[in-house]
Amino acid sequence: MTESLSQDDAKIQAENHSKCVDRFIELANAMKDEGLAPGVVSHGLMSASGIYATYAIAGNTNGLNQAGVEKLAGLYQSNLENIQKSKKEQASNS
């Protein structure tokens, strides 16, 4: 049975998430500033994310089965949709 996070734990998790995102964006911008095309950097980050997500879910020696791939792809899609919604809201408030 999955336990829900306390409000403090959820806040800490959200803060840690934000710090991780900021660090990845800083790294991506540094790579772009070193001359890599943004599309190449984006593809590299996406590939690294897929590799690390597989490790986080299945460990070093296992891969995801088809259902796991579909579930992870759905999470990526949902996250991307939320990002686009947020960007549109920010643009309309500017």
pLDDT tens column, 1-11: 445 778 889 99
Task: Tell me how far apart the alpha carbons of residues 22 and 71 are, in angstroms, rounded to a whole number.
Answer: 25
Q: By CB neighbour count within 10 A (0-12 exposed, 13-18 middle, 19+ buried), where does 62 fall?
A: exposed
Contact between 28 and 46 (Cβ < 8 Å) = no
Average pLDDT in the 65-77 region?
94
Averaged pLDDT of the chain: 93
> Global pTM?
0.78
Among candidates 79, 26, 23, which has minimal Cα distance to 50? 79
Task: Tell me how far apart the alpha carbons of residues 6 and 14 are, in angstroms, rounded to a whole number.
Answer: 12
Contact between 28 and 45 (Cβ < 8 Å) = yes
Task: Tell me how far apart the alpha carbons of residues 87 and 84 are, in angstroms, rounded to a whole number.
Answer: 5
